Structure 1
């Protein structure tokens, strides 16, 4: 039995539009509980949707290559959006949601709507993120640490 590989460096991007809803902090807390040190995590609180997260990863954080880690059903759309935003992108998915049929059907329905929105944002409207933000150097600092992979 092999150990689960730990992320070497990462931008945790998600929605934090309301005080009671904070995806990046929830991701950080989960990774902390798995032994991932804070020093390798950069939080992006303005990833209000996948397109925003991809564009911000490139424009705000200066990423060039990313591995998207999310639910299995979300991988094709997320990787496509990152590539459309100019990132070299790969995906790693979690299929644990498949255990519950209701979750699977709800996720599939949500994904259809999200794909239509993503197509409009990326291909028709060429939407800018809700908060394009100033250039951030936190990812560069994390990547500059000894043993870090390239950005």
Structure 2
């Protein structure tokens, strides 16, 4: 038995030596990289969960805040919000109607003139009874980090209720809180009806968690900054 085991080990060593050194090094580095990536992902997910703990609510239980920050997502070619975005906007509408917020900041992508998430979001809310002067547009919310950073640095938001889908909410709340916004959140569950899209989007959260951690650690500026805007202040002061 020992002799057979020794022969097997010898054969394995011979096979390994036959592999070019550069290939052995590449495989070794790949294994190390995979281990580090896995460890980083686990750490990032735990960081997000801990950061959001105690700050996730329903529309009925969320504490009042001056502003609802609605994070943008896909708008259809006809200019209508996608079902995921419409579900977020409905939560914001309910928060405003119930007096839980005094203004709504809609933050999304308008990087191309023909694609305008914030305007589509504002139009949807106004058509459903939210006063136009209570809805403020942020045209440069290109991702979660940028939306949170700009809410604080451009619009002067110190306390807000974040609105997005429930799988995205812990990351959004944690990022905003790390950037100085006293944020709670309300997450949509109704879009689960779109099972495939929900599953794909949820699965991306692990990679997004790593990006969120790197963004916060780097303290990077949003892609677009600009001057201070008073839109939220004006909306809160308006009757």
The reply to whether TM is greater than 0.5 is yes
Q: In structure 1, list runs of 5 or more residues that go unmatched.
A: 147-151
Q: How does 1:45-60 map to 2 (within 5 A)?
A: 45-60=139-154
**Contact 2:102/2:236 (8 A) holds in 1:** no
Post-superposition offset of 1:100 = 2.5
Which residue of the partner structure matches residue 184 of structure 2? 90
Q: In structure 2, list runs of 5 or more residues that go unmatched.
A: 1-92
RMSD: 1.6
Residues 41-65 of structure 1 deviation map (CA, whole Å, 9 limit, x = unaligned)? 1100011111111111111101110
Which residue of the partner structure matches residue 149 of structure 1? none
Which residue of the partner structure matches residue 74 of structure 1? 168
Which residue of the partner structure matches residue 235 of structure 2? 142
| 2: CA distance, partners of 1:57 / 1:141 | 14
The higher radius of gyration belongs to 2
Is residue 35 of structure 1 aligned with residue 129 of structure 2?
Answer: yes
Number of residues paired by the alignment? 143
Tell me the TM-score normalised to structure 2 length.
Answer: 0.56
Residues 77-126 of structure 1 deviation map (CA, whole Å, 9 limit, x = unaligned)? 11101100101001011112211221121111222222221111112x21
| 2: CA distance, partners of 1:101 / 1:70 | 17
| 1: CA distance, partners of 2:179 / 2:221 | 11
Which residue of the partner structure matches residue 115 of structure 1? 209
Tell me the TM-score normalised to structure 1 length.
Answer: 0.87
Task: Specify which structure has the higher proportion of helix.
Answer: 2
